[in-house]
Amino acid sequence: MKKIIVNPELCTGCETCALICSNYNLGGFNPHRACLTIEHFQQGIFNSLGFCQQCENAVCSKVCPTNALKIDQEKGYVTLDKDKCIACGNCVEQCPFDMITIDPDTNKAFKCQLCDGETYCVQYCPYGALEVHTK
Amino acid sequence: MKWKSYMGKMLIIDLSNKSYEIKDTPLDLIENYIGGKGFGVKLYQKYINKDTDPLSPENVLFFLTGPLTGTIAPAFRSCVVTRSPLTGTWLDSYFGGHFGQEIKYAGYDAVIIKGKSETLTYITIENDNIEFHEADELKHKMISKTTEILKDDHGDDFRVACIGPAGENLVKYALVSCEPMRQAGRGGAGAVMGSKNLKALAIKGNNLVKTADNVEFLKAVNKAYKELNNSPSIETFNKVGTPSSIPFAQNVGMLPTENYKYGQFDNSEQLESKEQSNAFWQRDIACSGCPIACGKIGEIYSGKFKGTISDTIEYETLGLIGSNLGISDINYITKIANLCDELGLDTISTGGSIGFAIEAAKNSNLSFLNNSDLEFGNAETVIELVKNIAARKNKLGDLLAEGVKRAAEYIPESNKYSVHVKGLETPAWPPRGAPGMGLALMTADRGGCHQRAFPVSYETGSEKWQGEYLERLSTDKKAEVVIYQQNKLAALDTLIKCDFATYGISEETYRLLLNTATGMNIPKGYWQKLGAKIWNETRRINLKHGFDRRDDYLPTRFVEEPLPDGPAQGHRITQSDMDKMLDEYYKLRGWNKEGIPQKK
């Protein structure tokens, strides 16, 4: 499985990762709407980024009643079939990392799927703070 | 909305009756004035009269964005426009960070604030949910504490713009802090906010900023990234930030020292980047979507001020709080800058005002200036003065809170060393060895400012103007350089560009970013036309407020006192130099000899 990891020493808090994420996934810019999270501490001396961990034993996939969430070993991440999602919220409730939300516009689950392998947040980070880690 | 990347709405808040309305952003405003400064000049004339007292409920505060604000395009900001209580002129003051982006995410191109609340208030804006709150617990709270309390109460993802005690006390150069360490610093917008009893705005939203042609827009973004990566100036901003200008200013004799008396500072090396890097820099910090990361943040590691959190002490602050006050200890300068930031004071005007006071103490017999501690290099006294200015405590603090121009009116014969243009304390680029910079300060629409045009690099030989090097101390061709820069920067301030990014991103790339984001078809050559139109508008605004040619001159120090040191030693900008440059400048702008625009 693959996941995105961060070197917090290199993160400047510019939120370019979250901007490109929302643009790729939702067609517009707003860092609050990304499927990654950013918290600023001590006025920005330290930023903490949260990414979907693409768990080997993903609890979101276990609690999904419609099989919309699946562990895809070949692709290397937990996939989401939006057509199957009924927005029950089980995955949101059970994710130990709070990395799934229900998108207010689509009313479907919303999670990181590594931009179908493109990982634009990694590509666009101006400081090389992000990388794809393969387990 | 016909044009993409705009939100299509403006939020208009009336504090007098705690009401608001949401209106469409007029299409003709967008099509003729793009955003930011362009929106500002039109809205200003709609809402503010020639006699509007800047600190009255009738003055209006405009928080304005541009079409690229909130997108991934590098590096776009936001601005505050209002009538300045410091100068009485038009005021546009710009800020980076994340607050302006959040205005867009909440669904607005502009937030317009009118009226006055009876009691201290703050406003929360979450999309179209606007609430007014009593701000008793925030009264006289510092900037970072105010921000922290509002985030604790309403959520970390709110972005906060607020004033400190200086704004509440109507210090004429109080700033608006847009999240800590990012400020609309100049001209006293914080005092306007204070006069309205508005302590803070907290804002967040979940709207998306959508572009017209996403594929082409991202190509334009990548072009901008490449241009930034290829620019040696941008590399310098990234590695060492604006303190890199200290050795340059020292070498060319343009580092303000002891209330602008000198152009070189004996201890200038102590103001260079290395000193603050050793004192507190831990990591790079950047504004929204910015790949430059000119900011360096950290906590002072040791000594008396250990634990003080600071972003880069910028060149302007090093010049005005450092050399201009004879202070070279970077820990003290950092502490004083931090105090200004927390109290909500513009460091440029604060340094200018205190420098003036120290010189006045030497030259005046007034009893409140009779203080042997008032001398250059005395950092402890400066700390006390900064606190007293913000609190308007005692005669001196209260007088300096009015700025140099008004303070000089009170102190006999002090105009010889009162340094301001139109009431705005000048920046850290004293112009005696660079007449073009003098003209830039003389004609800047908000008073003595270096951000409307900065011809110094052409004058000191680091850049060619139309293929040739300009004579540094001559006035020749300086008017055309200043006009070109003023027009370009005003036009790009409709997008609300970052000044630093313009060292890398080309005019053509700005055009591509705008067109692909909005769907407009702005032609090549548009920026100069748009900029000239905006300069005519701000000129008309200032003329209506009673400013004219007589206000377009430099302070006595730069005109009558020859520069005592540096490579331009012995030089000054004479009355005839100024007249010659102004005549040429007005003519090239299509203004008459009195500086009145002639063409509609």
Q: Are the CB atoms for B28 and B543 separated by under 8 Å?
A: no
CA dist A96 and A64 (Å) reads: 15
Q: Does B46 touch chain A (CB under 8 A)?
A: no
- Write down the pLDDT at residue B1: 87
Q: Does B288 touch chain A (CB under 8 A)?
A: yes
**Cα–Cα distances in angstroms (integers) from residue B51 to residues B47, B89, B309, B402, B548, in the given order:** 12, 11, 42, 20, 16
Name which of B320, B316, B322, B312 is nearest B266 in CA terms.
B322
Q: B70–A9: do the CB atoms touch at under 8 Å?
A: no
Angle at B301 between CA B257 and CA A44, to 5 degrees: 90
Question: pLDDT (tens digit, 9 = 90+) per residue, B482-499?
Answer: 999 999 999 999 999 999
Question: pLDDT (tens digit, 9 = 90+) per residue, B254-269?
Answer: 999 999 999 999 999 9
CA dist B283 and B311 (Å) reads: 10
Q: Does B151 touch chain A (CB under 8 A)?
A: no
pLDDT of A25 higher than 70: yes
Exposed e or buried b for every residue in B397-419, given b needs 16+ CB within 10 A? bbbbbbbbbbbbeebeebeebbb
Question: pLDDT (tens digit, 9 = 90+) per residue, A75-93?
Answer: 999 999 999 999 999 999 9
CA dist A122 and B362 (Å) reads: 59
Q: Are the CB atoms for B125 and B11 separated by under 8 Å?
A: yes
Kindly state the DSSP code that residue B348 receives in the 8-state scheme: H
| pLDDT mean over B133-146 | 98
Residues 508 to 527 of B: which have CB under 8 A from any A CB? none
Q: B206–A39: do the CB atoms touch at under 8 Å?
A: no
Which of A20, A22, A43 is closest, CB to CB, to B208?
Answer: A22
**Cα–Cα distances in angstroms (integers) from residue B291 to residues B200, B217, B265, B553, in the given order:** 29, 17, 33, 39
Q: 10 Å Cβ neighbour count for B154?
A: 18
pLDDT of A49 higher than 90: yes
pLDDT of A126 higher than 90: yes
CA dist B142 and B146 (Å) reads: 6
Q: 10 Å Cβ neighbour count for A1?
A: 17
CA dist B209 and B59 (Å) reads: 30
Which of B207, B225, B298 is closest, CB to CB, to A30?
Answer: B207
Q: Are the CB atoms for B271 and B243 separated by under 8 Å?
A: yes
pLDDT of B22 higher than 80: yes
Q: B208–A33: do the CB atoms touch at under 8 Å?
A: yes
Q: A127–B284: do the CB atoms touch at under 8 Å?
A: yes
Question: pLDDT (tens digit, 9 = 90+) per residue, B115-129?
Answer: 999 999 999 999 999
Cα B148 → chain centroid: 24
The DSSP code sequence of B129-155 is EEEEEE-GGGTT--HHHHHHHHHHHH-
Angle at B242 between CA B227 and CA B462, to 5 degrees: 65
Strand ranges in A1-135 using DSSP code E only, listed in sequence order: 2-6, 37-41, 46-50, 69-72, 77-80, 101-102, 109-110, 130-134
User: Smallest CA–CA separation between B89 and chain A, in Å?
Assistant: 33
Phi, psi of B529 (to 5 degrees): -65, -45
Name which of B67, B72, B74, B104 is nearest B514 in CA terms.
B67
% of chain A beyond a pLDDT of 70: 100
| pLDDT mean over A94-104 | 95
Q: Using CA atoms in the order A5, A9, A14, A20, what is the torsion angle rounded to 10 degrees? A: -20
Hey, is B224 helix, strand or coil?
helix
Hey, is B496 helix, strand or coil?
coil
Q: In what order do the strands lie in the sheet with B121-126?
A: B129-134, B121-126, B198-204, B159-162, B176-178, B183-184
Residues of B in contact with A126 (CB under 8 A): 225, 286, 290-291, 293
Q: Are the CB atoms for B100 and B78 separated by under 8 Å?
A: yes
CA dist B438 and A97 (Å) reads: 58
Q: Are the CB atoms for B147 and B162 separated by under 8 Å?
A: yes
Hey, is B417 helix, strand or coil?
coil
Angle at B441 between CA B438 and CA B447, to 5 degrees: 155
Q: Report the mean per-residue pLDDT for chain B.
A: 97
pLDDT band of residue B462 (cuts 50, 70, 90) is confident
CA dist B76 and B100 (Å) reads: 9
pLDDT band of residue B98 (cuts 50, 70, 90) is very high
% of chain B beyond a pLDDT of 70: 100
Best mutation target, B284, B308, B498, B518, to test chain A (most A CBs within 10 A): B284
Query: Can you read off the two tokens belonging to residue A102?
Result: 């229900």
pLDDT band of residue B309 (cuts 50, 70, 90) is very high
**Cβ-based neighbours of A2, under 8 Å, separated by 6 or more:** A54, A76, A77, A114, A132, A133, A134, A135
Q: Does B205 touch chain A (CB under 8 A)?
A: yes
Q: Does B72 touch chain A (CB under 8 A)?
A: yes
| pLDDT mean over A22-30 | 97
pLDDT of B600 higher than 70: no
Kindly state the DSSP code that residue B406 receives in the 8-state scheme: H
**Cα–Cα distances in angstroms (integers) from residue B586 to residues B29, B447, B479, B536, B582, in the given order:** 27, 17, 9, 11, 6
pLDDT of A42 higher than 90: no
pLDDT of A43 higher than 90: no
Continuous H helices in B294-378: 315-317, 330-343, 347-363
**Cβ-based neighbours of A125, under 8 Å, separated by 6 or more:** A16, A17
Q: A45–B283: do the CB atoms touch at under 8 Å?
A: yes
Q: Are the CB atoms for B509 and B548 separated by under 8 Å?
A: no
Residues of A in contact with B289 (CB under 8 A): 14-16, 19
| pLDDT mean over B497-502 | 97
pLDDT of B53 higher than 90: yes
CA dist B427 and B249 (Å) reads: 12
